[in-house]
Chains A and B, each alone.
Chain A
Amino acid sequence: MPFVTPKSQQRAYDVIVVGSGAGGGQSAYTLCMDGARVLMLEAGRHYAPETETPMFQTPDMAPLAGVSTPQKPFGFYDATADGGWTVPGEPYVRATEEQAGRFEWWRARMLGGRTNHWGRISLRNGPYDFKPRSRDGLGFDWPIGYEDVAPYYDKVELLVGVYGSNEGLENTPNSSPGCLLPPPAPLVSDYLVRQRARHLGIPVIPGHRAVLTRAQDFKRVPALLHPGNTKAQKILAEAMRARSPCLWATPCGRGCAIRANYQSTTVHLPPALATGNLDIATDAMVYEVTLGRDGRASGVSFIDRKTGTHQQAAARVVILAASACETVRILLNSKSAQFPHGLANSSGKVGRYLMDTVGSTVTGQVPLLESLPPLNEDAADGHQLYVPWWLYREQLAGKLGFARGYHIEFGGGRRMPGFATMQGIEWLTGGSYGRKFKEDARRYYGSFVGFDGRGEMIPNESSYCEIDPSVKDEWGIPVLRFHWRWSEHERRQAAHMQRTFGDIIEAMGGRTHPAVERDGAKAIAPGGSIIHEVGGGIMGADARSSVTNAWSQTWDVPNLYLTDGAVFASNADKNPTLTIMALAWRASDHILERMRRKEL
């Protein structure tokens, strides 16, 4: 089993953390900085962004000009290693061939997990988002409110570095003063979107992303995050100094060798390792949480992928942060006399209420943006501005026909030309070739603006995963089978996105091609494809209807915690990563407190 840290450091652990992404990274960071001894188990390989990231490589240096293939589904230079929509040797099952029931499961098998390539969009859930049922009678309320999580949002933003602004808009919370880094300047196309959307009553404000638009304040922040803990302060100050601010080039999805954006491998793990309290084993695929005679988790069983051997590790506390569905899989595969239907599943809710984000896209071509002078618009890789959901009042009054909102991510600009940049423009050029085609390419390059809706899905009884009765992965571990169904709320929301994007593009003097889709069922991206899958181990107010309590602690097994997206009781339009980190920090504080009191 390859250790990132020397194997001789193996010892009695306070906590095992399964997974090394946003939830696992934050959990390990918080625990180690406060003195807990942690063993992190990652199913994928070791990964070092500082030496592996293709920062300035251009498409001509890659096979097939760097396009997406089944082996690198977000393109050759995407940071994801050994992952994507499929993972060799690790199948999953779809319960139906119907397109409407389709679910896609993105996984990464590498240290840092999906944080290495994510979009870095870091939006806070607002007060409504924790109490959606109280507001409109649908879905579930969380057992916690915004005020419980707000201090942790502040901490995470200070730790990882998030740019943005405080606008004081409804259900779009401000950060505490001094938390956010300044947002980057908009592009020409951003200014145009903002001007024209405002004519339609649609607000356009600075985005929030985990990218350092300037160096972190290593003198101020460590004392705020670790009051009274001089060792932690010193370690964090060093870690912050080792990060460089954005150099305004190269896509974040490749990862960042200078650590200018957040990925677990460059932000959470280095300081956690510097404490001396963290051991990491990679290629360690956990498949079971073992149960002691006292009814508590005793540790985990895992497969060393390098040798195929089964191994065990023990600790006082087990944290699952393997990503929502993988965490569900581990729980359901952990069967015992006490838990014949899977560990921590006395409620029968493990695997239930799987949610993704509603996604829909429209691209417009805008004559005003044609033939602009040369501009370097690499910027911070997009999301300089965005549109938060703005129709809360109309929605609550029942005027929209769907219950939950969406935000809009948009972008254009003179980005680095890729394989498809000048493809499919026959509708604009009338089929030009020759010198005329070259002139057309110069004219239309940079004149496209893409709009992506990201909307809330309401949890339902038909969207869940379970263990398939027969299919196993190459290690013999039973795999997940997915069931999926959108409701009319999501389909209508997707149709509303299409109409709105068409309206904005029209207001910009642009054209859409193809035309906007009026049928929500066709406009909506398949389940899982936005890669915001959460739920499956939701938190709640009682042990009957939920898997964990308000501290992400399983009702059934007091020393077992879930710190990935599994605990989400709703999936607001806000991208889940920032909330995963805030809840992981909060759960880890709870664990530290209980360990001090010898309750764990």
Chain B
Amino acid sequence: MDRRTTIQWVLAAGAASSLLGPRTSQAGPVTAWRGASGSQGYGTDPNLLKVYRPGDFWPLTLTAAQRRLAGVLADLIIPADDQSPSASAVGVVDFIDEWVSAPYPDNQRDRPIVLRGFAWLDAQAQRRFHKDFAALDAAGHKAICDEICDSARAAAGRRDAARFFALYRDLTAGGFYTTPVGRKDLKYIGNVPRANFDGPPAELLSKLNLP
């Protein structure tokens, strides 16, 4: 397996689009990325051993109201259940703030989608329930989210909102399942040194009629 593949397999069903740099080809010089303004990212040779927190390399930019909405929506997607806490309880709001505040092309692409999505949710909530989205009860949240949670079934007028919801669910899942709590929720038990690797237990293979 080569490097690309390692990443793609880890990505599994996800989009591996950013692995190959900019998607549009152009004639002429191919130069290194530079931020349009402000942050120049973490550079091409960051210290890989340090533990980083959102905000270390670029300032977080969501307002208090946006962060409140971000947390409510993240918890609608990943609520607490009997196996693990909710998305916001493990720092997903900070992660999403870090994501939409980052200077890189993928982040700059996602930022307006997220901010417009937030505004759309509040507008919908105001129009239908005369409240901000974050202040709605469970029935109100469900009424709005059910219309946009599946882009294949979303009505024509809900396409952009459905695109936003799919992105937001991906960001929430990306933030949640990369935490210790998220790894435990998926029952990932690796990343520990071992003396040997013996493969799967024979009982499991025989249950699956393998090899």
Interface positions of A (Cβ within 8 A of B): 45, 52-54, 56-78, 81-99, 101-102, 104-105, 117-119, 121, 184-188, 191-192, 194-195, 207, 246-254, 359, 361, 363, 365, 368, 372-383, 409, 411-428, 430-435, 437-438, 441-442, 444-446, 448, 450, 452, 454, 471, 479, 513, 525-526, 529-531, 575
The reply to whether the CB of B120 lies closer than 8 angstroms to some CB of chain A is no
Residues in chain A near residue B84, CB distance under 8 A: 438
Within the complex, which residue of A187, A420, A437, A446 is in contact with B14, where a contact is CB–CB below 8 Å? A420
CB-CB nearest in chain A for B18: A68
CB pair B185–A431 under 8 Å, yes or no, is no
Docked complex Cα distance between A252 and B31 (Å): 28
CB-CB nearest in chain B for A97: B27
The reply to whether the CB of B45 lies closer than 8 angstroms to some CB of chain A is yes
The reply to whether the CB of B139 lies closer than 8 angstroms to some CB of chain A is no
CB pair A441–B186 under 8 Å, yes or no, is yes
Within the complex, which residue of B5, B149, B190 is in contact with A450, where a contact is CB–CB below 8 Å? B5
Residues in chain A near residue B54, CB distance under 8 A: 63
Task: Kindly provide the distance from the CB of A513 to the nearest chain B CB, expressed in whole angstroms.
Answer: 7
Contacts A56-B191, A97-B26 hold; do A381 and B6 have CB atoms under 8 A apart?
yes
Task: Kindly provide the distance from the CB of B17 to the nearest chain A CB, expressed in whole angstroms.
Answer: 9
Task: Kindly provide the distance from the CB of B149 to the nearest chain A CB, expressed in whole angstroms.
Answer: 4
The reply to whether the CB of B11 lies closer than 8 angstroms to some CB of chain A is yes
CB-CB contacts of B172-211 with A at 8 A, as 1s and 0s? 0111011110110111111111111111100011001011
Residues in chain B near residue A95, CB distance under 8 A: 27
CB pair B204–A58 under 8 Å, yes or no, is no
The reply to whether the CB of B145 lies closer than 8 angstroms to some CB of chain A is yes
CB pair A423–B76 under 8 Å, yes or no, is no
Within the complex, which residue of B43, B79, B169 is in contact with A435, where a contact is CB–CB below 8 Å? B79
Task: Kindly provide the distance from the CB of B189 to the nearest chain A CB, expressed in whole angstroms.
Answer: 5
Some 9 contacts from A to B, beta carbons below 8 A apart, are A53-B48, A64-B98, A188-B204, A247-B194, A250-B191, A374-B189, A418-B7, A420-B13, A575-B2
Within the complex, which residue of B13, B175, B179 is in contact with A424, where a contact is CB–CB below 8 Å? B13
CB pair A81–B95 under 8 Å, yes or no, is no
Contacts A45-B45, A421-B11 hold; do A426 and B150 have CB atoms under 8 A apart?
yes
The reply to whether the CB of B3 lies closer than 8 angstroms to some CB of chain A is yes
CB pair B8–A248 under 8 Å, yes or no, is no
Identify 15 new A-B residue pairs, CB closer than 8 A, beyond the known A191-B210, A420-B170, A530-B2.
A45-B45, A69-B41, A71-B44, A73-B18, A87-B32, A95-B27, A99-B25, A411-B1, A419-B174, A420-B14, A428-B13, A441-B177, A448-B9, A450-B5, A531-B2
State which residues 78-119 of B face A: CB under 8 Å: 78-79, 81, 83-84, 91, 95, 98-99, 102, 104-107
CB pair B8–A363 under 8 Å, yes or no, is yes
CB-CB contacts of B16-50 with A at 8 A, as 1s and 0s? 10111100011111111100000001111110110
Within the complex, which residue of A98, A252, A448 is in contact with B13, where a contact is CB–CB below 8 Å? A448
Docked complex Cα distance between A526 and B182 (Å): 35
Residues in chain B near residue A207, CB distance under 8 A: 1
Within the complex, which residue of B10, B83, B179 is in contact with A438, where a contact is CB–CB below 8 Å? B83
Task: Kindly provide the distance from the CB of A409 to the nearest chain B CB, expressed in whole angstroms.
Answer: 5
CB pair A452–B5 under 8 Å, yes or no, is yes
State which residues 46-60 of B face A: CB under 8 Å: 46, 48-49, 51-52, 54, 56-57
Residues in chain A near residue B3, CB distance under 8 A: 74, 78, 117-119, 253, 531
Residue of B16, B28, B76, B91 with most chain A CB atoms under a 10 A cut-off: B28
